[in-house]
Amino acid sequence: MSTAVRAEWTKLRTVPSTGWLLLTAVVLTVGVSTLETVVVKCPASCSDDTTKVSLTGVLVGQAAVAVLAVLVVTGEYSSGMIRITLTAVPRRITALAAKAIVLTGVVLATGAIAVAGSVLAGRYILPGNGFTGAHGSLALSLGAGPTLRAAAGSVLYLALVALLSLGLATALRDSGASITVLLGLLYIVPLLTDLGTLDPRWEHRLQEWGPMTAGLAIQATRNLKSLPIGPWPGLGVLALWAAGALLAGGLLLRLRDA
Amino acid sequence: MSTGTITPYRSEQRPGRDDFPHLLRSEWTKFRTVRGWLIAMVAAVLLSALAVVAIASAANGKQNPAANPTVAIGPDGEAVTDNFYFVHQPLTGNGSITVRVTSLTDAEQPGQPPFGNVSQPWAKAGIILKASSKPGSAYAAVMATPGHGVRMQYNYTHDLAGLSGTPSAASPRWLRLTRSGDTITGYDSTDGTHWTKIGTVTLAGLPPAVKAGLFAASPQYVQGGQGFANNSGPGGIDTRITATFDHVSLRDGRPGGTWTAGRIGFPTGPEGRFHCTASGPQQPGHYHGKCAPGAVPLSGSIIAGSGGTYTVTQNGGEIGPYVTNVDPLGTVLKGTAVGLLAVIALGALFITAEYRRGLIRTTFAASPRRGRVLAAKAIVIGSVTFVAGLIGAAIALPIAERKLHSGGWASSVFPIWSLTSGRGLQIVVGTAGLLAVAAILALSAGAVLRRSAGAITAVVVLLIVPLILGVVLPQGPADWLLRLTPAAAFGLQQGTPQYSQVMHICQPYNGCFPLSPWNGFLVACAWAAAALGLAAYLLRRRDV
Within this chain, do residues B57 and B191 fall inside the same structural domain, yes or no?
Answer: no
Select from B321, B340, B356 the last residue of a domain. B321
A195 neighbourhood in chain B, CB within 8 Å? 327, 330-331, 334, 471, 509-511
Select from B264, B289, B321 the last residue of a domain. B321
Within this chain, do residues B356 and B290 fall inside the same structural domain, yes or no?
Answer: no
Q: How far is B335 from chain A (nearest CA, A)?
A: 8
Task: Say if CB B355 and CB B455 are below 8 A apart.
Answer: no
Give percent of chain B above pLDDT 90.
Answer: 44
Q: How far is A101 from chain B (nearest CA, A)?
A: 22
Confidence class for position B297, pLDDT limits 50, 70, 90: very low
**Residue pLDDT, tens place only, B45-69:** 999 999 999 889 888 778 778 888 8
Confidence class for position A134, pLDDT limits 50, 70, 90: low
Domain for residue B339, yes or no? yes
Say whether pLDDT at B291 is over 60.
no
Of B327, B328, B472, the CB nearest to A56: B472
Task: Note the pLDDT of residue B269.
Answer: 41
Nearest CA in chain B to A38: B477
Report the distance separating Cα B113 and Cα B116, nearest Å: 9
Task: Note the pLDDT of residue B472.
Answer: 84
Phi/psi-derived region of residue A223, left when phi > 0, alpha when psi is between -120 and 50, beta in every other case: left
Confidence class for position A136, pLDDT limits 50, 70, 90: low
Domain for residue B10, yes or no? no
Say whether pLDDT at B272 is over 60.
no
B472 neighbourhood in chain A, CB within 8 Å? 36, 56
**Total residues belonging to chain B:** 544
**Residue pLDDT, tens place only, B429-479:** 999 999 999 999 999 999 999 999 999 999 999 999 999 998 888 888 899
Task: Note the pLDDT of residue B254.
Answer: 66
Within this chain, do residues B341 and B227 fall inside the same structural domain, yes or no?
Answer: no
- List Cβ neighbours of B354 (8 Å cut-off, separation of 6 or more): B30, B360, B363
Confidence class for position B253, pLDDT limits 50, 70, 90: low
Q: Which residues 125-144 of A are in CB contact (within 8 Å) with B?
A: none
Nearest 5°: CA angle at B462, between A168 and B475? Answer: 120
CB contact (8 A) between residue A198 and residue B59: yes
User: Which residues pair with residue B125 across a beta bridge?
Assistant: B144, B216
Strand pairing category for B260-264 and B158-161: unpaired
Task: Say if CB B234 and CB B505 are below 8 A apart.
Answer: yes
Q: Taking every pair of C-alpha atoms in chain B, what is the biggest distance, in angstroms?
A: 135
Q: Which residues 484-543 of B are in CB contact (within 8 Å) with A?
A: 509-511
Report the distance separating Cα B191 and Cα B357, nearest Å: 80
Report the distance separating Cα A158 and Cα A152, nearest Å: 10
**Residue pLDDT, tens place only, A29-42:** 999 999 888 888 87
Task: Say if CB B453 and CB A173 are below 8 A apart.
Answer: no
ipTM score of the complex? 0.92
B328 neighbourhood in chain A, CB within 8 Å? 197
Say whether pLDDT at B286 is over 70.
no
CB contact (8 A) between residue A74 and residue B331: no
Size of interface A-B (CB pairs under 8 A): 137
Give φ, ψ of B205 to 5 degrees: 75, 30
Within this chain, do residues B116 and B262 fall inside the same structural domain, yes or no?
Answer: yes
Of B60, B334, B452, the CB nearest to A192: B334
CB contact (8 A) between residue A200 and residue B63: yes
Peptide bond into B281 cis (omega under 30): no
Confidence class for position B282, pLDDT limits 50, 70, 90: very low
Within this chain, do residues B309 and B346 fall inside the same structural domain, yes or no?
Answer: no
Nearest CA in chain A to B409: A197
Report the distance separating Cα B40 and Cα B25, nearest Å: 20
For residue B460, the enclosing domain spans 20-66+326-541
Say whether pLDDT at B301 is over 90.
no
CB contact (8 A) between residue B334 and residue A63: no
Within this chain, do residues B311 and B448 fall inside the same structural domain, yes or no?
Answer: no
Within this chain, do residues B58 and B115 fall inside the same structural domain, yes or no?
Answer: no
Of B64, B335, B471, the CB nearest to A194: B471
Task: Note the pLDDT of residue B401.
Answer: 93
Nearest 5°: CA angle at A15, between B445 and A174? Answer: 55
Within this chain, do residues B88 and B215 fall inside the same structural domain, yes or no?
Answer: yes
CATH number, domain of B292, equals 2.60.120.560
Q: How many domains are there within chain B?
A: 2
Give φ, ψ of B145 to 5 degrees: -125, 150
**Residue pLDDT, tens place only, A178-200:** 999 999 999 998 888 876 677 78
Task: Note the pLDDT of residue A23.
Answer: 96
- List Cβ neighbours of A71 (8 Å cut-off, separation of 6 or more): A17, A21, A175, B451, B453
The mean pLDDT of B360-385, rounded to a whole number, is 94
CB contact (8 A) between residue A180 and residue B457: no
Task: Say if CB A232 and CB A157 are below 8 A apart.
Answer: no
Average pLDDT over all residues of chain B = 85
For residue A59, the enclosing domain spans 2-255
- List Cβ neighbours of B342 (8 Å cut-off, separation of 6 or more): A180, B40, B41, B43, B44, B47
The better pLDDT of the pair B295, B240 is held by B240
Burial of B296 (0-12, 13-18, 19+ CB in 10 A): exposed
Domain for residue B117, yes or no? yes
Listed range (A170-184, B74-88, B430-444) with the worst mean pLDDT: B74-88
Select from B270, B300, B321 the last residue of a domain. B321
CB contact (8 A) between residue A40 and residue B337: no
- List Cβ neighbours of A82 (8 Å cut-off, separation of 6 or more): A76, A258
Within this chain, do residues B126 and B238 fall inside the same structural domain, yes or no?
Answer: yes
Helix (H, G, I), strand (E, B) or coil at A80: coil
Domain for residue B428, yes or no? yes
Say whether pLDDT at B232 is over 80.
no
Q: How far is B189 from chain A (nearest CA, A)?
A: 44
Task: Note the pLDDT of residue A33.
Answer: 93
Q: How far is B458 from chain A (nearest CA, A)?
A: 9
Report the distance separating Cα B110 and Cα B116, nearest Å: 12
B465, B471, B481, B512: which to substitute to probe chain A, counting the most A Cβ within 10 Å? B465
Task: Note the pLDDT of residue B280.
Answer: 35
Rg of chain A on CA atoms, in Å = 19
Say whether pLDDT at B287 is over 50.
no
Within this chain, do residues B375 and B272 fall inside the same structural domain, yes or no?
Answer: no
Q: Which residues 62-91 of A are in CB contact (within 8 Å) with B?
A: 63-64, 66-67, 70-71, 74, 78
- Number of Cβ within 10 Å of residue A129's Cβ equals 19
Within this chain, do residues B45 and B108 fall inside the same structural domain, yes or no?
Answer: no
Q: How many domains are there within chain A?
A: 1
Within this chain, do residues B507 and B534 fall inside the same structural domain, yes or no?
Answer: yes
Listed range (A63-72, B112-121, B144-153) with the worst mean pLDDT: B112-121
The better pLDDT of the pair B295, A155 is held by A155
The mean pLDDT of B208-234, rounded to a whole number, is 80
Say whether pLDDT at B36 is over 50.
yes
Report the distance separating Cα B124 and Cα B312, nearest Å: 11
The better pLDDT of the pair B246, B32 is held by B32
Domain for residue B363, yes or no? yes
Nearest CA in chain A to B353: A176
Helix (H, G, I), strand (E, B) or coil at B372: helix
Domain for residue B7, yes or no? no
Q: How far is B275 from chain A (nearest CA, A)?
A: 27
Nearest CA in chain B to A80: B356
Letter string b/e over residues B347-357, b meaning 16 or more CB atoms within 10 A of that residue's CB: bbbbbbbbbbe
